[in-house]
């Protein structure tokens, strides 16, 4: 069982920045990609970004340029740097762990095997 723990959420004013972290509890054989998702109140879960063990990273088109996903060498910790935050970025942010081979730039939630509990990000205007 892999446990993912997110941290770094909080409240910021519009235009501010936050860096989220997601740490896996144990080294996991076969872990190949990690993703960040978010879900705002009353809305569907949205895929934010994906990063592969190779370092290849992909973003939702609407977020590219403001958000940056990165990881340490073994995907033990994944980061999401969020800049120029907007009130519409307010959501619960979740990280997730995926296994196996190439699953596309934004694999979708069904391709992820483990999920964290989430960290709240609130952006005020």
- The confidence band for 19, taking pLDDT boundaries of 50, 70 and 90, is very high
The predicted-structure confidence for 27-62, as pLDDT tens digits, reads as follows 778 899 999 999 999 999 999 999 999 999 999 999
Alpha helices in 1-125 (DSSP H): none
Q: What is the pLDDT of residue 92?
A: 98
Q: What is the predicted pLDDT for the residue at 64?
A: 81
Task: Quickly list DSSP for 4-46.
Answer: EEEE--EEEETT--EEEEEEESS--TTEEEEEEEEE-TTS--E
Q: Is the pLDDT of residue 124 over 80?
A: yes
pLDDT at residue 25, rounded to an integer: 82
Q: Mind listing the pLDDT tens digit for each residue in 64-118?
A: 899 999 998 788 899 999 999 999 999 999 999 999 888 999 999 999 999 999 9
> What are the distances in angstroms from CA 91 to CA 2, 29, 88, 102?
24, 31, 8, 28
């Amino acid at each position: 069982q892999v446990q993912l723990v997110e941290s770094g959420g909080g409240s910021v004013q519009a235009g501010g920045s936050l860096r989220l972290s997601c740490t896996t509890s144990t080294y996991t054989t076969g872990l190949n990609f990690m993703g960040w998702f978010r879900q705002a109140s009353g809305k569907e879960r949205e895929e934010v970004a994906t990063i592969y063990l190779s370092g290849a990273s992909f973003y939702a088109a609407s977020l590219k340029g403001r958000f940056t996903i990165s990881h340490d060498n073994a995907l033990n910790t994944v980061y999401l740097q969020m800049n120029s935050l907007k009130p519409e970025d307010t959501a619960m942010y979740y990280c997730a762990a995926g296994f196996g081979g190439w699953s596309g730039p934004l694999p979708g939630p069904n391709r992820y095997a483990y999920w964290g509990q989430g960290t709240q990000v609130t952006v005020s205007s």
